[in-house]
Structure 1
Amino acid sequence: MNPFSFKFTALASLLISSGSTLAENVIDDHIVVSGSRFEQKLEDVTGSVTVITEQDIERQLAVDLQTMFKYDPSISSTGSGAGAQTLTVRGVGGNRVVFIKDGRRTNDGYAGGGGYLVGRNYFDVAGVKQVEVAKGAASSLYGSDALGGIVVITTKDPRDYLVDQQSLVKVALGYQGQSNQVAADITAAKDLGDFAISAVYSHRDSEEVQNYVEDLPGYDARSDALLLKVEQKLDEKRTLKYTLDYFNQTTEQVITPSIQETEDEDTNISFALDYDSDMATAIFDKWYGQLSYSRYEQKSDQISAARNYIDYNDYGFEQDILGLKAVFSKEVKGENTEHEFVYGIDIDLYDTTRPRLKTRVLNDGTVDFTNEKQKAFPGADTSLVGVYMQDSIKFNETDWSLVAGIRYDYYALEAKKDALYADTELNDITESAFSPKLGVIYQVDDNLSWYGQYVRGFKIPPHDQAYQSHGVEPFYQILPNADLDPESSDSFEIGLRYASSDISVNLSTFYAAYDDFIETTIAGVEPTYIPNVNKTFYQYQNISETQISGVEAGIDMYVTGDILLEANVAYVDGENKDSDQPLTSISPLNGSILVSTEFGNVNWTAAWRLAKAQSDVVLDTNGNKTTQGNGYGVVDLYANYQWQAWQMNVGLLNLLDKEYVPFELIAGQSKGTDFSQYSQPGRNVSARISYQF
């Protein structure tokens, strides 16, 4: 379907269908920070932003990234449950999307077979206030890696709990049917005068998220999370905040005892000191500063048996991030214009290591070798320094607003010295880039506005892709490439927003051209000593140009005083211009419809997720089309009940017990392959009950 004709068809269909959550018959106007790094109304942002609130998480019983965004057709996810998860926004994902939690960057993912083995889901949703996804490049404010968008996770501060009370205690129990997860969390907050403190503790026990026929090898998982915050009010205009954020998850899988076993442990711990000041000076009205330290550590102990031996693998991934940032804002009012300046500096220092050790025991009990180092990629020291400024200009006596911003980034990557890679060329990499942004808003009337924006995106070559050097003899070898160029993009978006007390409509169309996209390529093939078996050399290389375009539309509307409808639809098209092949990261035409209403004290929501089969697919090495997948429709039902201090949420997921496979999980695979392992769970139930003292 032509994307330009599709957008009008989509908008017409949206005007007769839609749904979400009831909010006293008023469509919410969200406050976001992703557009300017200071709070502003969503209607003032030049670009598309998805907002998931604490109420959305509770009512839809979301427990991770995959369940949080399932009703946004422009955002797809890979992985589920306790496994690694990543988000793809408008066809761009992985490390091309920046994750920010409470102002600080979270850990990278590193590339592994078929995806990111280290995901970004290693946090708990308990205590989350809001999650924003700004779609499209955001490098003008957030620097490198914000090529495809940003995910901003904001957790609740002590005074968010203590709105009109001195103390609070809330306990909750939950069950999530997809993974048989049993969860318990407790939240406590206390006002101590100049100090306010809050603590959120969560514990979860779960199993593997099964496919439809439930024949995947299972695992057991458990996690513990603690979010501790202390706010200190220095005076009426200055506040300090101390944060400890801890998350630990362990998964254990036993396929055959002592033959094939895996135990993974993922730990995230962060400390942050935040300073907020509203004491105005000549150069700023208020400013925010943060000093943070984060450590992510993955440990993977594996037992893997072959014909003549058993390997005991001790693999790890460790990343320390030291962050320092300051954000300033200044309002300047003139006779003809009003300016809102935002400017600041970001410094992030990464220390990354990838230890891999192997012990091999022969079948007769002889120890062949012990704790022998294995190749993957050496560690790296990464330095990111960026300075930026953005000016939001309101032209008085007109209906026009302008947003202009620019950021300069300096980046340095240095491989760690390791004798294991002594014969490998691992040059240091230094790069710099300017990332401009220009946006405009035209306010037609009090309800209707148009916006447009251009943003330049920038992404540094990541350490694992530049320095990865390992393989399995004699079958394949991954070659490092320290000559990788940074990825960049030029993205454009035009959109419409209409909002009144009982209806809101959003329509946007976008186009992005990506230069030097980094992808895996075959660098060479040579024969081996095994007859008819060749050794393949892979390497990360730059693709000269990739293009992605699409259209999105959404509507929230009160059909009657107590029936709210919401509908969203997204169409994305992407192509590798080097090969004239479609991108495997592109989702098919898909959408969602939600209908919410109230009966007595119970709020009911029926949700329908739909996806079309993808016909434009990549060709295999023989020139044949890979799998196209199938379209599907899935119905979910939610009920929410609140009585005094009690709250109960219940969900019946995949109500009609539909067997389906999301295209994103099988894109690029051969036709005729058995895709049953990728099928999604059948009918299942989730529930949560909480009580607040």
Structure 2
Amino acid sequence: MTFYSQPTALAAGIAAVLAFSAHTQAAKIPSATLETIVVTATRSEEKLEDVPARISIIDEPLIEQSPIASFPHLLMSDASINMVQLGGYGQQASFFLRGTESDHTLVLRDGVRLNNDASGLAPNNFIDTTDIKQIEVLKGPASVLYGTNAIGGVVQIISKTPDKNAAFISAEIGENQTYKSIVGADLADHGFYAQVRGQRLETDGTAIHEHENAIASSFDQKGVSAKFGYEATRFGTSLDYSENQGNAQYEQYSWSSMQYEQKSQDFKNQIATLKSRFSPTDQLTLNARVSYFKDELEQLKSFERTDYESTEYELTAKQQMSTAQNIIAGITHRQLETSTLKAAESFHQDLNSTGYYLQHQYQTDKLKTQAGIRLEDHEKYGQHTVGQLAARYFFTPFFSSYANVGTAFKAPTMNDLYYGDYANPSLKPEESQSYEMGIDLQLTLQLKSGLSLYRTEIDNLIDSDPNNNWKFANIEAATIQGSEVYVNWANDAFFAKASYSYNQAKNDKTGLDLSRRPRQKLALSAGWADEHYGLSTTLTANSHSDSSNYDDDVIPGHAQIDFNSYYQPNEQLRFFANIQNVGDVQYKTASAGNYDGKFYLNGGRLASVGLTVKY
């Protein structure tokens, strides 16, 4: 692939396009916006401002700025998330939500769990962003509705559903020989709808270590998805399927050869979901779901393969008891199969888990409450009961306060129990208690602000034990305390957003900070967006943090700036230009854990241009 020979000239050209967009005259649009609807907090649709918890939204305009933008890059815009990626595209990516562990956040796609019980993580670096309507980040415990992994919260990907007939093709090219192309078609007619998508992404990548002989690690990805369904007043059903596969090159230090070696891995994930909804009366709604998720990862230059399969069966019933009260009752059964094949110490595990939950909601103009309880019957770890109580009170239509108290749990992963020298088959599940309170204030029609204070206490936190050759162990306890504040302003097509997060995550026994938790993060964005022109810039900045429990390395604080612009002369045509990390800041993300003291690096600058044609 040779799209151009002078990447610096490309970046300069894109900067010129951005500057031109900033000074172009455009028609004004009303400042009023549609109400944001979310589903993650209660498994049913409700207005964002009514939720008695803190939810942030990564919305469709932000997602559509750049088809190339990866899932980890999109999540970086949330001040409560510390994204740790061991390099650029396709490299291992994990995030720490409100100071909790990287496997304490559950990732869903339309209700389907993407966390792999081998590692506890979702395949964040491989998730395709082609068909996302919005990303909902629910902060705080959510085990009542979702079971294990939801100590820190839930990140849910909401996919698009067709509402009109359409077809499109989109392409974006950028530095490092990076490109992505997407083709799609939608059909919607009298309640019936169908949707198909195909995408391809390739990049030569960047060097992921800072040693002088480091070479670029490439990544390629291709996928298809299809959705078919029917929606009517009393009945609805849908069938979704998506498949995503590719190859990621990476670099790893070898203690046998005492040098860095190039490695390669193939990945493939599949999701199939059948959903049905039936409303026999105006007051009763029944929902059923059967889903299948498969995640495969194979190391090509060493004998190692991990396969994970999960089949879920879920049935929920929502009864509207009065205009102000409803009850949701549900049961979720999961069948899990995890296997890791290695030259030595392979393992295989089959597990079943069944959760029973009940949630009550009370909603008036002044008061919104949510109370729930869940009994999880885990084949390996027995029964766990968790609960949650939350309320939001509106002192005026423009000023509200909320409080949220809940417990959650997480079962040890298969890797914690059986993988490598640090595994410990005797680990216990982690358990947590969380407390949160906050306010939201609509200062003017254009200006809104809010503040949250939270505390999470985790018992039996799984971490490395320096007194036992660094094997995994349940340390006595950890405490996380923090706060978040946001300010959003919008006036016609102009907008500005600012959010700030502070958290302190400590091991109660040693008093030391937990790894990879910067105390502070700031996210700022501002711009102009109307029906024809758009220009925006985003700044994210992290303070320093400890690298790991294995060394004394410190990850320095860092910041990066992104620019985005578009020109849309009509509904059928859209031109766009983007620069990720405009300063080409080669910031460190994690220690490589080697004798040489080198670090993993972020992917650097990526300038790109693209075009979307719609019919």
Give TM class, smaller chain.
0.7 to 0.9
Deviation at 1:297, TM superposition (A): 1.3
Among 151, 155, 174, the residue aligned to 1:151: 155
Where 1:55 maps in the other structure, the secondary structure is helix
Aligned AA for 2:387? P
SS of residue matched to 2:63: helix
Counterpart of 2:569 in structure 1 is 643
Aligned to 1:586: 517
Distance 1:586 1:343 in 2: 37
| Correspondence 1:541 to 2:473 | yes
Tell me the residue number matched to 2:314: 325
Give the Cα separation in 2 of the matches to 1:353 and 1:191.
41
User: Structure 2: how far apart are the matches of 1:518 and 1:489?
Assistant: 12
Mapped partners of 2:543, 2:252: distance in 1: 36
- 1:350 alignment partner in structure 2: 336
Q: Is 1:390 aligned with 2:394?
A: no
SS in 1 for 2:124: coil
Shift of 1:104: 1.3
Q: What's the CA shift for 1:158? A: 3.2
* Superposition deviation, residue 118 in structure 1: 7.4
**How has the CA–CA distance of structure 1 residues 191 and 31 changed in structure 2, closer, same or farther, with 3 Å as cutoff?**
closer
When the two structures are aligned, how many residues end up with a matched partner? 577
Counterparts in 2 of 1:108-507, with a 5 A limit? Answer: 108=116, 110-111=118-119, 119-159=123-163, 162=164, 167-177=165-175, 180-191=177-188, 195-210=192-207, 216-233=214-231, 236-252=233-249, 262-280=263-281, 285-302=284-301, 313-333=302-322, 338-356=324-342, 373-376=343-346, 378-394=347-363, 399-412=366-379, 429-468=380-419, 470=420, 477-481=421-425, 483-499=426-442, 501-507=445-451
CA distance in 2, matches of 1:681, 1:222: 15
Amino acid in the other structure paired with 2:374? R
Instruction: Look up the equivalent residue of 1:204 and give its one-letter code.
Output: L
Residue 158 of structure 1 contacts residue 230 of structure 1 at CA under 8 Å; is this kept in 2? no
Give 3-state SS (helix, strand or coil) of 1:46's partner: coil
Per-residue deviation, 1:538 = 4.4
SS of structure 1 residue aligned to 2:216: coil
Structure 2 equivalent of residue 605 of structure 1:
536
Cα 1:220–1:487 shift into 2, 3 Å? same
Q: Distance in 2 between matches of 1:191 and 1:546?
A: 51
Aligned to 2:19: none
Give the corresponding residue for 1:310: none
Q: Give distance in 1, aligned partners of 2:29 and 2:77.
A: 19
User: How far does residue 42 in structure 1 lie from its aligned partner after superposition?
Assistant: 1.0
2:97 counterpart (89, 98, 121): 89
For 1:344 and 1:260, locate their aligned partners in 2 and report how far apart those are by CA, in whole Å: 49
Paired with 2:241 and 2:529, the residues of 1 have a C-alpha distance of 39
Deviations 1:248-279 (A, max 9, x none): 112346999xx965331111112211102232
CA distance in 2, matches of 1:118, 1:557: 33
Cα deviation code 1:638-663 (max 9, x no counterpart): 2122121111221123333444335x
1:483-534 superposed Cα distances (whole Å, 9 cap, x missing partner): 322111100111111235312212101000000001122464xxxxxxxxxx
Q: Which amino acid aligns with 1:493?
A: E
8 Å CA contact 2:170, 2:182 repeated in 1: yes
**2-structure distance, mates of 1:515, 1:153:** 29
Q: Distance in 1 between matches of 2:550 and 2:264?
A: 35
Contact 2:493 2:530 in 1 (8 A): no
Q: 1:319 to 1:44 in 2, by over 3 A?
A: same
The answer to whether the aligner puts 1:680 opposite 2:612 as a matched pair is no
2:373 is aligned with what amino acid? I
Structure 1 pair 176–451 and aligned structure 2 pair: CA distance change class (3 A): farther
* Distance in 2, Cα, partners of 1:297 & 1:679: 26
Q: Taking structure 1 as reference, are residues 457 and 347 closer, same or farther at Cα in structure 2, changes over 3 Å only?
A: same
Cα gap change, 1:141 to 1:691, in 2 (>3 Å): same
- Matching of residue 689 in structure 1 with residue 611 in structure 2: yes
Structure 2 match to 1:423: none
Change (3 A) 1:146 1:81: same
Deviations, residues 208-249 of structure 1 (Å, cap 9, x unaligned): 24469796332332211111011135x542122111111111
Is the 8 Å Cα contact of residues 208 and 218 (structure 1) preserved in structure 2? yes
State how far apart, in whole Å, the 2-side matches of 1:169 and 1:143 are. Answer: 39
Aligned-residue offset at 1:674: 4.8
Offset of residue 60 of structure 1: 5.3
Q: Deviations over 1:431-463 (max 9, x none)?
A: 211111011111011111000110101111222
Q: Is this contact kept in 2: 1:107–1:296, CA < 8 A?
A: no
Question: What CA distance in whole angstroms lies between the structure 2 residues aligned with 1:450 and 1:495?
Answer: 6
Amino acid at match of 1:643: P
CA–CA separation in structure 2 for the residues paired with 1:517 and 1:579: 13
Relative to structure 1, the CA distance from residue 62 to residue 148 in structure 2 (aligned partners, 3 Å threshold; closer, same or farther) is: farther
Partner of 2:69: 63
Within 2, Cα distance between the matches of 1:348 and 1:136? Answer: 23
Q: Which runs of 5+ in 2 are unaligned?
A: 1-27, 254-259
Preserved CA contact (<8 Å) 1:582 1:617: no
| Change in 2 beyond 3 A, CA 1:627/1:484 | closer
**Residues 297 and 557 of structure 1, relative CA distance in 2, 3 Å threshold:** same
Supply the distance in 1 between the matched residues of 2:338 and 2:605 (Cα, whole angstroms). Answer: 42
The equivalent of 2:84 in structure 1 is: 78
Give the corresponding residue for 1:553.
485
Identity %: 18
Letter in 2 for 1:101: R
Structure 2 counterpart of 1:58, which letter?
E
TM-score (norm 2): 0.87
Indicate the structure (1 or 2) with the bigger Cα radius of gyration.
1
Q: CA deviation at 1:117?
A: 8.9
The separation in 1 between residues aligned to 2:367 and 2:78, in whole angstroms, is 30
Aligned CA distance change for structure 1 residues 480 and 598 (closer, same or farther; 3 Å): closer
Distance (Å, rounded) in 1 between the aligned partners of 2:209 and 2:249: 22
- Relative to 1, partners in 2 of residues 1:216 and 1:197: Cα closer, same or farther, differing over 3 Å? same
Shift of the 90–107 alpha-carbon distance from structure 1 to 2, 3 Å rule, reads: closer
Instruction: Quote the offset at 1:27 in angstroms.
Output: 5.6
C-alpha distance in 2, partners of 1:292/1:617? Answer: 37
| Equivalent pair of 1:498/1:504 in contact (CA under 8 Å) | yes
Which region of structure 1 is more displaced relative to structure 2, 286-295 or 627-636? 627-636
Q: 1:254 to 1:563 in 2, by over 3 A?
A: closer
CA contact (8 A) 2:184 2:196 kept: yes
Provide TM-score, normalisation by structure 1.
0.77
